Structure 1
Amino acid sequence: MTAPEFSRPERIDTIGAGERGVTIAAEPIERVALAARFGLLSVDRLEATLTVRREAAGIVVRGRVGADVVQACTVTDEPIPVTIDEPVALRFVESGDAGADAGGDAEIELDEHALDTIPYEGGAVDLGEAAAETMALALDPFPRSANAAAALRAAGVLSEDEVKPLGGLAGLGDLLKNKSS
């Protein structure tokens, strides 16, 4: 397994019960590698301001991830600048702990204060990878530029407003009436 592009390991033995602030930022070479990994035109900024503390159930990390990225429009390939400001609420648990594997494929309802659980191995949690994944999850999976609608229209693609849900079946009622007559 290769190391993540933006790795900021936080050693478990340095984390106490009190909260400790940690600020991380991706270097230019890391941002280029992250852009390639996530299919972005560029990552101009990726940083996180976090608090880390140990609890009985694992290592709790809270804070914010901020980023400035450029995505490509899925229709026109035009660059779309995006600013991300996402809250982070994570619990790292040692891989193999009951809490890390609980639930399997079962759907679990989480309340607004629930923490995402991330398993870890070894003596450290990777705050950089957590920040990178938070950034990626905040991205629009189908970004569209201001020119996307016009490009789709020019290609003959109908908008959702123009499509009639039963358009293909519209004449079926008349056809059935004519058959029964």
Structure 2
Amino acid sequence: MKPELHRPLSLDHIGPRGLDLTVEANPAECSALAIRMNIAAVLALSCAFHLIRQGRDVVLARGTLRARVTQTCVISLEDFDAPVQETFQVRFVPSEQQSDEIDPEADDEIPFEGNQIDLGELAAEQLGLALDPYPRMPGVEIPAAEDDPEPHPFAALRRLN
């Protein structure tokens, strides 16, 4: 199945000094991403990349994601627009070279097949990671707990002691 934001890039385009490029989502891609992310809307998304070859088949990708999304507040259940900005660094590695070790200090590895990496899918994944899982509209507070809770049915028995 084709990803919502598909921007394949041949490794041959990345020269010895690296490559800078930007991926931008069009309106149809934004709509598809909103469905995938289970949010009200993706209004805009762009991701600037700096790619550096590390050896023949490994690519270090540094990126800055900028997006505007509409999310639903978990408190008021109202939709609101929110900016998203995230910087990240990952490594594209051939799937047969992907490490099985989990190292929280190492860059995340994105496996790929053949001679192409997909910068659009990477941007979509980074958007998913950057979204607040419990979005709260600015200015909305969690309602305070009631000071005078309803009396417990057995409260009168406690007073008999």
The normalised TM-score by structure 1 is 0.73
What is residue 128 of structure 1 aligned with on the other side? 120
Q: Alpha-carbon deviation of 1:33? A: 0.3
Aligned length in residues? 146
Judge which range, 129-138 or 75-84, deviates more. Answer: 75-84
Query: How do 1:1-181 residues align onto structure 2 when only pairs under 5 Å count?
Result: 2-56=1-55, 58-97=58-97, 100-103=98-101, 107-110=102-105, 114-145=106-137, 146-147=139-140, 149-150=142-143, 158=145
Give the ranges of 4+ consecutive aligned residues of structure 1 lying more than 6 Å apart after TM superposition: none
Identity %: 35
Write the deviation string for residues 47-83 of structure 1: whole angstroms up to 9, x where unpaired.
0111112112711111211101011112332112211
The normalised TM-score by structure 2 is 0.81
What is residue 174 of structure 1 aligned with on the other side? none
Q: Alpha-carbon deviation of 1:42? A: 0.8
Larger helix percent: 1
Residues in 1 aligned to 2:40 and 2:79: alpha-carbon distance in whole angstroms: 7
Give SS of 2:6's match: coil
Matched to 2:66, the amino acid is: G
Matched to 2:2, the amino acid is: A
Q: Which runs of 5+ in 2 are unaligned?
A: 148-160
Q: Which runs of 5+ in 1 are unaligned?
A: 163-177
Larger strand percent: 2
Residues in 2 aligned to 1:109 and 1:31: alpha-carbon distance in whole angstroms: 31
Residues in 2 aligned to 1:51 and 1:8: alpha-carbon distance in whole angstroms: 15
RMSD: 2.1
Residues in 2 aligned to 1:117 and 1:101: alpha-carbon distance in whole angstroms: 8
8 Å CA contact 1:73, 1:148 repeated in 2: no
8 Å CA contact 1:46, 1:65 repeated in 2: yes
Matched to 1:108, the amino acid is: D
Write the deviation string for residues 67-120 of structure 1: whole angstroms up to 9, x where unpaired.
0101111233211221111112110000011xx1331xxx4240xxx4221111
